[in-house]
Chains A and B, each alone.
Chain A
Amino acid sequence: MEPVTYNLIGAGLIVIGAGIGLGQIGGKAMEGIARQPEAAGKIQTAMIIVAALLEGLAFGALFLGK
């Protein structure tokens, strides 16, 4: 097997992990907004920050694995 294939498997794993994480963040934020619509703005901001941090991690891993 060529080494490239391992890279791709790693990329796939990273994307699966990031997807699960983003799903959790988004889902919980939705739940929070549904429970407390007046706090939607604050929840959204916090959600975007956490999503950005997660995304940074995922991109970092993809970048290093390239």
Chain B
Amino acid sequence: MKIVKQSFKFLVLAVLMFLPTSILAINAGGDGGQISGKQEVEEYIVHHLKDSHDFNLFSYTDDAGERQHFGVALPVILWSSEGLVTFMSSEFHHDDNGQVIVEKDGLKFTKIHSKIYELEKGATAVEFDADHHATNASKVLDFSITKSVVGILLIGLLMLFWFSRLAKQYKKKQIPTGFGRILEPLVLYVRDEIARPNIGEKHYRKFTGYLLTVFFFIWILNLAGLTPLGFNVTGQLAVTACLAIFTLIIYTISGNKDYWMHILWMPGVPIFVKPILAVIELVGAFIIKPFSLLVRLFANISAGHIVLMSLIAIMFTLKESLGVVGATSLSFVLSFFLLLIELLVAFLQAYIFTMLSALFIGMAVAEHDHEHDHEVSSDVEDVRGDFI
């Protein structure tokens, strides 16, 4: 009986795992339409990688040849040349080439390639130069609630709900119930395997909060990116850059005397090497470390999304040569296995980001034994002297 129950559970789980692929496929299928072809697939993928001003679930061309969109319009909030302007993104009517012009408070706005431009006074249409840059419109400061912002807010609220519930449960009894049982081992894992060994017994408590937040934020957003909702939040440079800057600020502020001394005036090396090392260390601490953090996350998630969507697109691009059934099953099998790998990558990237953040913070707060340090360096010099 138990075996039957277990295999049933397994079956349900397997179906649930398949579900995202098939729904994603339907999404992409809606966009294939009659015009289909390589270009449209490419356009769709490029569009997906960017942030968008409306939450579009899917769109298709109906029998009458009209484009139908299913999704939610989001508010557009702009800081224009004359102050704050707000309207709903539905006013653009899904135009992305500067064709539709929205007039608000005497100002004219248009959207070109997911960026909103403000038209100059007196202009009625956007004029483009040879490189397809708008000549009579300029970019405005854009504080819109875009799709990524919705994703961040959604995941933020979800995390707030889950973790405040988890924290409350500890007040009543020793073990959490329900969903908290999934979160508890992960929290302990981040604390005991990432924060404690990398930062050190003395300081780790202060930074565990940040590391936990970053870990769950990235992990849950990565997972949300694999659902048919089509979020690509951790694949946005702005988001990963922001996270990297947080880490940069934290390890710069919490760096102790020894850390700064090792950056600015490295002990134990000949004096003429010290300025050279200082330059290298400064570049490393302020540019290379955050840059590697932000590019790794961004590139991994973007690459995963591109490959996944390309595999799903196989069913349109190879429709002629393999037949509808052949192309569909090929893309289904490939994208299913890639989705499994992506589940691993989603966790791994969150783990690596947290791990490296902990490592950098640990470097900044590590305490050196001064006596010992000098002894070692003088020993090294002695030995060197002997050899020379």
Contact = CB atoms under 8 A, between A and B. Distances in A.
Interface residues of B, number: 16
Interface of A: 45, 48-49, 52-53, 55-57, 59-60, 62-63
Main secondary structure of the interface of A (DSSP, over half): helix
A26 to B, nearest CB: 14
A66 to B, nearest CB: 10
A36 to B, nearest CB: 18
22 contacts: A45-B193, A45-B197, A48-B351, A48-B352, A48-B355, A49-B352, A49-B356, A52-B296, A52-B352, A52-B355, A52-B356, A55-B296, A56-B292, A56-B293, A56-B296, A57-B292, A59-B296, A60-B295, A62-B299, A63-B295, A63-B298, A63-B299
Interface string B293-334: 101101110000000000000000000000000000000000
Contacts of B356: 49, 52
Interface in B124-183: none
A45 B193 CA distance: 9
A29 B241 CA distance: 31
A51 to B, nearest CB: 9
B131 to A, nearest CB: 16
Per DSSP, chain B at the interface is helix
Nearest to A58: B299
Contacts of A63: 295, 298-299
B220 interface: no
Contact of A59 (B193, B197, B299, B359): B299
A59 B352 contact: no
A55 B292 CA distance: 9
A62 B298 CA distance: 12
B355 A49 contact: yes
Interface in B50-70: none
A60 B193 CA distance: 28
A56 B355 contact: no
B351 to A, nearest CB: 8
Contacts of B295: 56, 59-60, 63
A48 to B, nearest CB: 7
Contacts of B351: 48
Contacts of B300: 55, 59
A54 to B, nearest CB: 10
Interface of B: 193, 197, 291-293, 295-296, 298-300, 348, 351-352, 355-356, 359
A59 to B, nearest CB: 4
Contacts of A59: 295-296, 299-300
A52 B300 CA distance: 11
A46 B175 CA distance: 32
Contacts of B348: 48
A3 to B, nearest CB: 16
Contacts of A48: 348, 351-352, 355
Contacts of A55: 296, 300
Q: What are the nearest 4 A-B pairs in CB distance? A: A56-B292, A59-B299, A52-B352, A56-B296
A53 B352 CA distance: 10
Contacts of B352: 48-49, 52
B5 to A, nearest CB: 34
Contacts of A52: 296, 352, 355-356
With most chain B CB atoms within 10 A of its CB, the pick from A53, A57, A63 is: A63
A49 B354 CA distance: 11
Q: Which of A52, A57, A60, A63 has the most chain B CB atoms closer than 10 A to its own CB?
A: A52
Contacts of B296: 52, 55-56, 59
Nearest to A53: B292
Given A45-B193, A52-B356, A56-B293, 9 more contacts: A49-B359, A52-B355, A59-B296, A59-B299, A60-B292, A62-B299, A63-B295, A63-B298, A63-B299
A54 B161 CA distance: 37
Contacts of B299: 59, 62-63
B341 to A, nearest CB: 15
B356 to A, nearest CB: 6
A55 B89 CA distance: 38
With a 10 A CB-CB cut-off, give which of A48, A49, A56, A62 has the most chain B CB atoms: A56
